[in-house]
Structure 1
Amino acid sequence: MKRAVVVAGALVLGFSAVAAQDPIAARKALMKETGKQAGAGAAMLRGEAPFDLTKAKAIFVAFQDAASKAPALFPDTSKEGGETAALPKVWESKADFDAKFAKLGTDAKAGEASVTDLDSFKVAFSGATKNCGGCHELYRVKK
């Protein structure tokens, strides 16, 4: 247990250092991890992976983590440079952009608290991931 705390602390410090030096790289890493968690949840929904309550709750914890960290990873200094898929609208509508992350955090926290089985996971996961799609629709370059 003690080792897990040390490892988690090192990861947080490492993430903080990367975020301060290169917010574009930090947000890409955060979004990649969030996408990985979303993929794990989608696999459970499709029956490609068995439902696992512990993993389901961990997905919502990861979403909460992303929601709390992401707004700070879009400083004005990261509008340009690097390879970013963020549209200029992020900075033009920063209050709305940040509010979308706050809603993701709120929905993910509620999801973590409400999930007890696959059926409740389907409802909570679908609700939380709608936040992702809504933000990507407005604030991300379409690929």
Structure 2
Amino acid sequence: MRPLLLAALVLPFVAATAGAQSDPIKERQAIMKQIGEQTGAGAAMLKGEAPFDAAKAAAIFKTYTEGGAKFGSLFPEGSDKGDTKALPAVWSNRAGFDAELAAFNKAVAAGAPNIGTADGFKSAFSAVAQTCRTCHSTYKAR
């Protein structure tokens, strides 16, 4: 009985400590690295430098969907300090930043059903890429 009671008391503390030790800057950089790698592969297909591959297109949009779902929560107050290219506008204009992220997620969701063909992928990928450019021009240092 005592070990169970001890575990019940300690487990929430351990979980809270583990969460507090996460690094949102590194987490968002990892997500953006994955998105960037997938975007490079998509751009190659878009430009005809690589053949269209429906499985690869699906992997690209899966990465976009998963990354977009997590990304917004990785900009808490105070995460503007450190090794980050996020501009102060992320925090000073949070509503605008959140709107840009919502536009990305909407473009991904709208395009995903159409990526099974080369033409569908090109259209969907182009729409998503436009949201990336718009957001980066305002919220990311070059």
Q: Same fold (TM over 0.5)?
A: yes
Question: How many pairs align?
Answer: 125
Q: Which moved more, 1:125-134 or 1:48-57?
A: 48-57
What's the TM-score, normalizing by structure 2?
0.82
CA offsets, 1:49-107, max 9 Å, x none? 21111211221121111111111111002011x21101100001111111211111111
**Matched residue type, 2:39:** A
| Aligned equivalent of 1:25 | 26
Aligned CA RMSD, in angstroms, stands at 1.7
CA distance in 2, matches of 1:25, 1:130: 25
How much identity, in percent, do the aligned residues show?
Answer: 46
Name the CA shift for 1:117/1:24 in 2 (closer, same or farther; >3 Å). same
Which residue is equivalent to 1:95?
95
**In structure 2, what is the equivalent of residue 60 of structure 1?**
61
Decide whether aligned partners of structure 1 residues 72 and 20 sit closer, same or farther in structure 2, where only a CA change above 3 A counts: farther
Question: Which structure has the larger Rg?
Answer: 2
The alpha-carbon distance between structure 1 residues 65 and 19, as it changes in their structure 2 partners (threshold 3 A), is farther
Runs of 4+ deviating beyond 2 Å: 17-20
Alpha-carbon distance in structure 1 between the residues aligned to 2:103 and 2:69: 10
Unaligned runs of 5+ in 2: 1-17
**What pairs up with 1:1-143 in 2 under 5 angstroms?**
21-80=22-81, 82-142=82-142
Q: Which residue matches 2:4?
A: none
- Where does the alignment leave 5 or more consecutive residues of structure 1 unmatched? 1-16
Aligned-partner Cα distance in 2 for 1:19–1:134: 32
Is the CA contact 1:79–1:88 (under 8 Å) kept in the aligned structure 2? Answer: yes
> 1:129: how far off?
0.8
